[in-house]
Amino acid sequence: MSISLYSLGAAEEVTGSKHVLEIDGRIILIDCGAFQGRRAEADRKNRDFGVPADKLEAVVLTHAHYDHSGLLPLLGINGYAGNIYATPATRDLANIIMMDSARIQAHDAEYLSFRARKKGETFNWQPLFTEVDAINTTNQIVTVSYNRPVWITQNVKLEFFDAGHILGSSMALLTATDKDGKTVRVAYTGDLGRKGKAIIRDPAVLPPVDFMLLESTYGDRLHESTDDALAMLAEVVKKAVRTNGKIIIPAFAISAPRNWCTTCTPSWIKRSCRRSRSTSTRRWP
């Protein structure tokens, strides 16, 4: 059995996850994310697609975050008409992400074109894809629940395991079988979540594998525990109460509002700030 693996993104950098797995000449793409960064650099890297879309036999999507799903519409534009395998929740979220990206790109094109015309300059920039492309891509997604093995090529079986990262996030286990019945298991973790989240299950435990591709954005550090993180947040809330200040939370990411809404309930805030109420002029309900 001949197996090769190479990355077209998220290797020696973050964002833009695209990994190509070739097994006995059959090519499978795992994730198809957009690069995020400065406008010019991101545009250049995203247009330099590099994925052999017309030669793919299957596409696997581990979760919906933009840096894993954002360039999926380019597959169809470049000739891929096959299935994209994902969990049901990932399909729903990826549809929102792709549609939102298409709208933002269309708005950017309109705005930048207007600015160029005012300066008497030529403007030729075009969005990477449109809302129609995003809809067509969503129609290619075949949903697969956790722990339900399915054949995605003639000799490769896919099984999703809960990654505990965001809704629908998964680890992908690919089992290849050759003509002599020999099997090789290749696992790709995608983005792994932490244990003890409010509404997201803990990451599942994978069965034994032969090869594992593990993304390691935080591979050189230890995260604080959930209790320690809540204690740190409580101190921030207490300080804001004491000083009549404000807390500004960047909520552009999918998981940030979820974490805030499920953790910082009115009752939790009251409990956390009980010691600060006597020194604060802020009124509490």
Neighbours of 38 (CB within 10 A): 8
- The answer as to whether 218 is a domain residue is no
DSSP E strand stretches across the chain: 3-9, 18-23, 26-32, 56-60, 84-86, 141-143, 150-151, 156-162, 170-177, 183-188, 211-213
Domain membership of residue 284 (yes or no) is no
pLDDT of the residue at 11: 83
Q: Are residues 203 and 235 in the same domain?
A: no
The answer to whether residue 56 is domain-embedded is: yes
| 165 and 275 part of one domain | no
Beta bridge partners of 175: 157, 185
pLDDT score at 268: 67
pLDDT at 38 (0 to 100)? 87
73 lies in the same domain as 204: yes
In this structure, are 110 and 239 located in the same domain? no
Q: Establish if 193 belongs to a structural domain.
A: yes
6 and 20 Cβ atoms separated by less than 8 Å: yes
| pLDDT tens, per residue, the chain with 285 residues | 889 999 998 888 888 999 999 999 899 999 999 998 888 899 999 999 899 999 999 999 999 999 999 999 999 999 999 999 999 999 999 999 999 999 999 999 999 898 888 888 888 889 999 999 999 999 999 999 999 999 999 999 999 999 999 999 999 999 999 888 899 999 999 998 888 777 889 999 999 999 999 877 777 777 777 778 778 888 888 888 889 998 887 766 676 666 666 666 667 666 766 654 444 444 444
63 and 133 co-located in one domain: yes
From the DSSP assignment, how many helices (H) and strands (E) are in the chain?
8, 11
In degrees and rounded to multiples of 5, residue 66 shows phi and psi of: -55, -35
Final residue of a structural domain among 161, 189, 213: 213
What string of H, E and C letters represents the secondary structure of 122-147? CCCCCCCCCHHHHHHHHHHEEECCCC
Residue 221 lies in a domain: no
Residue 73 and residue 129 in contact, taking contact as beta carbons nearer than 8 Å: yes
The residue out of 157, 192, 213 marking a domain boundary is 213
Same domain, residue pair 193 and 239: no
Looking at residue 163, its pLDDT comes to 96
| Domain that includes residue 240, residue range | 226-279
Count of domains for the chain: 2
Q: How far apart are CA 163 and CA 161, in angstroms?
A: 6
Residue 126 belongs to a domain: yes
Which CATH number is 101's domain given?
3.60.15.10
Is position 219 within any domain?
Answer: no
